[in-house]
Chain A
Amino acid sequence: MRNKKCFIKQNKKIWFVAVLLVVWILAYRVLLPFSDYLIYNVFGLEKGKHLTDAIWFFVFEFPKVLLLLTLIVFFVGIIRTFFSPERTRKALAGKTTFAGNVMASLLGIVTPFCSCSAIPLFLGFVEAGVPLGITFSFLIASPMINEVAVVLLFGMFGWKVAITYVVTGLVIAITAGWIIGRLHLEKWVEEWVYKTKMGDAGDEVIRLNFTDRLQSGFTAVREIVGKVWLYVALGIAVGAGVHGYVPEDFMAALMGKSAWYSVPLSILIGVPLYSNAAGIIPIVSVLIEKGASLGTALAFMMAVIGLSLPEMIILRKVLKLPLIVTFVGIVSIGIMIVGYLFNLIF
């Protein structure tokens, strides 16, 4: 009896999700004609004017990015229920270098983890015998390649740039972690880390059924989209202003291909600049339109998203300063190579 009730409830939820998906597809499809209709017919704005361009950019891009974000965050929220830091740790314990670095970087993308949990996670990994370099691969990939960044890159630049970002981000996480592992820097980890004894809290993940997982998807949407929509709005608003008013090759001198210093400069600016992907990517997308080169812009975004000052400060509790400097140095060099490479290719 109880099972049947449960089954009906589960079915209801699946139908609800199916209906939402149809609504989503319709909304995404009519967005472009609707934006045109709203701007040119309802508001009666004149085509080709700066103000019209700026308003159109916002009216179209903001709902578009928000729709994409909701969809992807929902599915990533469901995928994440199959992973947990505990499982990831078990999978990585005692792994050999390189194969372990690859695995850690990939798991870094899907394992639910926020930077405020960086310390307990680091301790948990070390305690379980996950090698230092492999732990770093995880810590580099996890913030750099996140669903919000990927969605925004896809929405503002298209899938080619989004995939490029993910692949180069992975390569940086794998290589940087591998190098840190080879350097044997365990001496620069605070001594008390190795003395910490850890209890066993068991695994919460196993007891979830499908409805629970759907619910996790909704929770993820509420938490993540509820938090970043404002940054998206601000980023796109600034982007819209730049899009409409700043002259075409304004950024060419500072962030263009011909300026050799543009890549290191944008990393230097990017690391201390603490912003999330949601705010920075729309702005960067219009910088490219105004003459910034793709490699430089990519390097800038990676530095902003992947290396954040607050996370370094948190990690300082478990890592000695030389190790943090080495870590930031190696990742920065990786980002720099990516930047130059893309300026060369594209």
Chain B
Amino acid sequence: MNILILGTGCAKCKSLEKATRDVVAEMDLDAEVTKVEDIVEIMSFGVMTTPALVIDGKVVVKGRVPDKNELKQLFTK
């Protein structure tokens, strides 16, 4: 699984990155988590509100930080 966190470095972006890494570790997932900070690259995903979460090229969350339960659900799909 390929997980991207889109965010320019705001507080919420950092908390999404941390939550994602925690959940990936908890679930022992075979996933690569990358933080994307370049604005042009972020825009190529079409999001206007950061942070956003991208799983395998698809934007699943934008503009908010989901709680860990929601993250788990998103990763099991």
Chain B binder among A45-53, A196-204, A232-240, A263-271: A196-204
B12 at the interface (CB under 8 A from A): yes
**Interface residue tally on B, bucketed by range:** 20 to 34
Residue on B nearest A202 in the bound complex, by CB? B59
Q: Known contacts A198-B44, A201-B45, A201-B62; decide if A116 and B39 are in contact (CB<8 Å).
A: no
**Interface residue tally on A, bucketed by range:** 20 to 34
Q: Is A192 a contact partner of B40 (Cβ separation < 8 A)?
A: yes
Residue on B nearest A119 in the bound complex, by CB? B39
* Residues in A whose Cβ lies below 8 Å from that of B44: 197-199
Residue on A nearest B47 in the bound complex, by CB? A201
Residue in contact with B48 in the complex, picked from A121, A192, A202, A219, CB distance below 8 Å: A121
Residue in contact with A196 in the complex, picked from B8, B13, B40, CB distance below 8 Å: B40
Q: Is A317 a contact partner of B46 (Cβ separation < 8 A)?
A: no
Interface string of A174-209 (1 = CB under 8 A from B): 000000000000000000100011111110100000
* Residues in B whose Cβ lies below 8 Å from that of A89: 48
Interface string of B28-52 (1 = CB under 8 A from A): 0000000000011011111111101
Residue on A nearest B44 in the bound complex, by CB? A199
Q: How far is the CA of A114 from the CA of B10 in the complex (A)?
A: 10
* Residues in B whose Cβ lies below 8 Å from that of A219: 64
Q: How far is the CA of A197 from the CA of B42 in the complex (A)?
A: 10
| Interfacial residues, chain B to chain A (CB-CB below 8 A) | 8, 10-13, 39-40, 42-50, 52, 59, 61-64
Residue contacts A-B, CB under 8 angstroms, 14 given: A86-B48, A114-B12, A117-B48, A119-B8, A120-B43, A123-B39, A124-B48, A196-B40, A196-B43, A197-B43, A198-B43, A198-B46, A199-B43, A201-B46
